[in-house]
Amino acid sequence: MKRAVVLAGGLGTRLRPFTSVIPKPLMPVGEQPILEIVLSQLRRHGFERVTIATGHLGKLIEVFFGDGSDHGLKIDYYREQEPLGTVGALALIEDLGEQSFLVMNGDVLTDLDYDELYRSHVDSGAAATIAVTERKVQISLGVMHFQDAEHPERVTDYIEKPTIDYEASMGVYCFAPRAVDHIEAGKRLDFPDLVLRLIAAGETVNALRPDAYWLDIGRHDDYEQAMDEFDRMRDRLLPDDPDLKKR
C-alpha cells in the first residue's frame, strides 16, 4: 500500500489574519481547500493511505476529511502536541519503517506526478529523493563585485538588477524506511537538517527535476497568484476528477 504523509500542522503566520481562524491547508483555491486538491492528486497517483500530521486548528482538518472514505483514501492523523519542526513528527508516526513513503507539505499547488517521484525513488535505492523546481530571483539593486581581500576597494564589476537562477525544494520528498532512523523521537528537526544528516552518514540523496507547475501558497502574494491561475491550470491540476472540477 503506497503511503503518504501530509504535513498540515503549521501556524500559517505569513497568511494571517486568515489562518487565525482556519488552518492553512483548508484555505480555498478555486472552490475547494488546497489540501482537498492534494489528496485528490495523491489518490490519482496510486496512494491509498495518507497520514495527515496536524497541529494548529487540527481538529478542523480531522472533521473535514474524516477517515478518508469520502475521498477514496484511508486517512489517519498524527496530532503534534508540541512543534517538532517540519520533519520531527516522522519518528512518532506508526509504521513508517516498513516501506518507502512520500512526505509533502499540505499547502503545495502542483501538477507533479507523485507516482513518478515515488517510483524513481524506490528504483534508485536512495535514502531520500527531493522534488526540485527552477526559480529566478531578480535583485532590485545594482550589485557590486570587488577584487579581493587585499584590495577590497577596487571594483571589478557592476551588474544592474541581476537575475539569479537557482533550484529549490518543492516541499515534496520520498524517504526510504531507514531515513527515519536519523530522526530522534520527540526532538525538533527540519527537512534540511535531516537531509544533511543523511549525507553526512554516507547515504544517497537524489533530486528529481520534473517539468511541473508549482506554487507554495504560504505567502499572501503566492496565495493570490494561485487564486488567479487556478482556473487556467484546473485541467492540469485535476485532469480526471470531475467531482472537484465542477464545484
Render pLDDT for 46-75 as a digit per residue (tens, 0 to 9): 999 999 998 777 788 888 899 999 889 999
Measured CA to CA, the distance from residue 203 to residue 221 in angstroms comes to: 37
- Residue 4 class from Cβ within 10 Å (0-12 exposed, 13-18 middle, 19+ buried)? buried
Task: Kindly state the cell numbers that stand for 180.
Answer: 527515519
Pick the CATH number of 3-133+168-245 from 3.40.50.10490, 3.40.50.2000, 3.90.550.10, 3.40.50.1100: 3.90.550.10
- DSSP states of the chain: --EEEEEE----GGGTTGGGTS-GGG-EETTEEHHHHHHHHHHHTT--EEEEEE-TTHHHHHHHHTTSGGGTSEEEEEE-SS--TTTGGGGGSTTTTSS-EEEEETTEEE---HHHHHHHHHHHT-SEEEEEEEEEEE-SSEEEEE--SSSTT-EEEEEES-EEEEEEEEEEEEE-GGGGGGS-TTS---HHHHHHHHHHTT--EEEE-----EEETTSHHHHHHHHHHHHHHHHHHSTT-HHHHT-
**CA dihedral for 38, 39, 40, 45, sign (positive or negative):** positive
Residue 16 has pLDDT above 50, yes or no: no
Render pLDDT for 76-126 as a digit per residue (tens, 0 to 9): 998 877 778 888 889 888 888 789 999 999 888 899 999 999 999 999 999
pLDDT in the model for residue 246: 41
pLDDT in the model for residue 236: 82
Render pLDDT for 220-230 as a digit per residue (tens, 0 to 9): 677 777 777 77
